[in-house]
């Protein structure tokens, strides 16, 4: 039989045992329930291995050896100026560039020469036209320059050959034919050099395009030989080809503008020449009318 004083001690031990069991149950990790539909593994799980992050070695011979230096990529040429590209260009592209440069020099030479020539001709034609308009007769007209003097000489020669013929219309017709031929010769001499401007303006772009095509073709040949598409292999040839195109345009554009300018200037000079020829014909017509009236007076008196 248990002593009544030992019962409270036993109850106290029972409470300490229950508290220790609850503390141990709360400290233990709770098991993770498997996902729905997943079958539990029969055996122990295997640990997950970490991935290998090391880079693969270069298979080329000597790649892992630090003493063997890798080949450096080809560098672009240092001199990319127009002169440097011209020196480094292919001989065909060089010939195209030289031809276009000479065409440009000739174009500007013609421009300077024709500008001076047309300015002098206009001034002289205006002076001769004023002298012929002020003259009362053909003999009194004394033009000082080439075309005016030639027209007056042609008119005097025709009057001398016609003699005292009263067929004024026949004399005027022959006179007009002679003066028109002088005008045509003057116009032909005036257009000297303009054909070269037209030729340069029409063909220079295509000559430059030929140099461009040749340079690009050489660039592609260099790509195939080097077995690479690096810009350093392609850029120099393309730059040289584009330089040929630029020279072609630089020669053609001024030539076209100069040709159009001189076409207008020549038209103005030809108009002055036509006015001078008309003024000479008017003097001839007056002289013929005076001669006919002078011949008619003695016949009427008789």
Kindly give the interhelix angle for 231-301 and 146-162, rounded to the nearest 10 degrees: 40
Has this prediction a pTM greater than 0.95?
no
Angstrom distance (rounded) from CA 206 to CA 203: 5
List pLDDT tens digits, range 36-79: 444 544 544 555 555 554 545 555 554 455 454 445 544 444 56
Q: Dihedral angle at the C-alpha atoms of 232, 237, 241, 247, nearest 10 degrees?
A: 80
Total Cβ atoms within 10 A of residue 269: 20
CA atoms in the 13 A half-sphere facing the CB of 43: 2
- Map 30-77 to HEC letters: CCCCCCCCCCCCCCCCCCCCCCCCCCCCCCCCCCCCCCCCCCCCCCCC
Q: Could you report the per-residue pLDDT of 13-45, keeping only the tens digit for each?
A: 665 565 556 555 554 444 545 544 445 445 445
Q: What is the DSSP string of 66-106?
A: TTSPPPPPPPPPS--SHHHHHHHS-HHHHHHHHHHHHHHHH
Residue ranges per domain, the chain?
90-134+186-301
pLDDT digits (tens, 9 = 90+) for 84-126: 777 777 788 889 989 999 999 999 999 999 999 999 999 999 9
Average pLDDT over residues 164-191: 81
> Is pLDDT larger for residue 100 or for residue 233?
100
Task: Give the pLDDT confidence of 234-258 residue by residue, as tens digits.
Answer: 777 788 888 889 999 999 999 999 9
3-state percent helix, strand, coil for the chain, nearest multiple of 5: 75, 0, 25
């Amino acid at each position: 039989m248990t002593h009544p004083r030992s019962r409270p001690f036993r109850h106290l031990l029972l409470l300490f045992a229950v508290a220790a069991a609850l503390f141990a149950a709360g400290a233990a990790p709770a098991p993770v329930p498997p996902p729905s539909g997943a079958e539990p593994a029969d055996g122990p799980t295997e640990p997950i291995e970490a991935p290998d992050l090391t880079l693969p070695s270069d298979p080329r011979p000597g790649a892992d050896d630090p003493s063997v230096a890798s080949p450096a990529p080809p560098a672009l040429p240092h001199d990319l100026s127009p002169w440097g590209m011209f020196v480094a260009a292919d001989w065909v592209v060089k010939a195209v560039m030289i031809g276009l440069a000479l065409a440009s020099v000739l174009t500007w030479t013609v421009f300077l020469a024709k500008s001076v020539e047309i300015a002098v001709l206009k001034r002289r034609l205006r002076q001769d036209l004023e002298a012929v308009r002020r003259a009362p007769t053909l003999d009194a007209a004394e033009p000082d320059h080439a075309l005016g003097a030639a027209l007056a000489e042609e008119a005097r020669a025709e009057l001398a050959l016609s003699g005292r013929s009263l067929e004024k219309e026949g004399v005027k017709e022959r006179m007009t034919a002679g003066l028109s031929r002088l005008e045509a010769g003057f116009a032909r001499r005036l257009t000297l050099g303009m054909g070269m401007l037209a030729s340069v303006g029409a063909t220079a772009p295509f000559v430059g395009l030929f140099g461009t095509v040749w340079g690009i073709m050489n660039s592609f040949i260099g790509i195939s030989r080097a077995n690479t598409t690096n810009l350093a292999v392609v850029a120099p040839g393309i730059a040289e080809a584009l330089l040929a195109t630029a020279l072609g345009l630089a020669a053609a554009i001024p030539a076209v503008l100069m040709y159009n300018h001189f076409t207008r200037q020549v038209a103005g000079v030809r108009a002055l020449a036509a006015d001078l020829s008309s003024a000479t014909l008017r003097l001839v017509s007056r002289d013929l009318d005076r001669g006919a009236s002078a011949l008619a007076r003695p016949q009427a008196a008789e």
